[in-house]
């Protein structure tokens, strides 16, 4: 399954089920001439980014800690994007981390709490075109 499929079929329903109303794929952030890209960004009700999402084809089996190269990559994007959380996933495993601004590190975390939005008849998107209309 490619990144787009994982995002559409697994990650978006997961994040929406947690209460994130807006999830925007492929967001770029930059400081000066340095640009980075998040596979997706989850926004809170206040329209501020809450978490960046890094999708990988297949994650290593546990232990999966904050020194893992994928976690470090996502952490750097979260720093530049100034999001308090980031999610590393392959669509089956969902690993949440919190940016510890005080200590300059990432820590494994529970998912951020969002107030679920009531949505009736929620179902996965049929294809990328349908998702593009909604997003």
Domain of 92? 3-114
Question: Structural domain tally of the chain?
Answer: 1
In which band, very low, low, confident or very high, does the pLDDT at 128 lie, cut at 50, 70 and 90? low
Handedness of CA 6, 129, 42, 82 (dihedral sign): positive
Give the mean model confidence (pLDDT) for residues 15-43.
87
Q: Is the pLDDT of residue 70 over 80?
A: yes
Tokens of 75: 């952490």
Cβ contact 50:43 at 8 Å: yes
How does strand 85-89 pair with strand 49-55? parallel
Q: Is residue 124 part of a domain?
A: no
Length of the chain: 135
Chain segment 38-63, per-residue pLDDT in tens: 999 999 888 889 999 999 988 876 65
In angstroms, the CA 110 to CA 45 distance is 19
Q: Is residue 10 part of a domain?
A: yes
Q: For residue 53, give the nearest of 61, 22, 62 by alpha carbon.
A: 22
In angstroms, the CA 103 to CA 106 distance is 9
Q: Is residue 87 part of a domain?
A: yes
pTM, two decimal places: 0.79
What is the CATH classification number for the domain harbouring 78? 3.90.1570.30
Q: Is residue 109 part of a domain?
A: yes
């Amino acid at each position: 399954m490619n990144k787009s499929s994982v995002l559409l079929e697994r990650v978006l329903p997961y994040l929406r089920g947690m209460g994130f109303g807006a999830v925007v794929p492929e967001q770029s952030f930059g400081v000066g001439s340095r640009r980075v890209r998040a596979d997706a960004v989850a926004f809170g009700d206040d329209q501020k980014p809450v978490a960046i999402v890094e999708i990988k084809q297949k994650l290593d089996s546990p232990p999966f800690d904050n020194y893992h190269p994928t976690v470090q990559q996502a952490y750097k994007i979260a720093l530049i994007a100034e999001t308090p959380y980031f999610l590393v996933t392959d669509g089956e495993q969902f690993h949440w981390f919190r940016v510890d601004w005080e200590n300059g590190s990432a820590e494994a975390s529970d998912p951020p709490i969002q107030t679920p939005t009531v949505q009736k008849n929620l179902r996965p998107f049929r294809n990328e075109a349908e998702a593009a209309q909604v997003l």
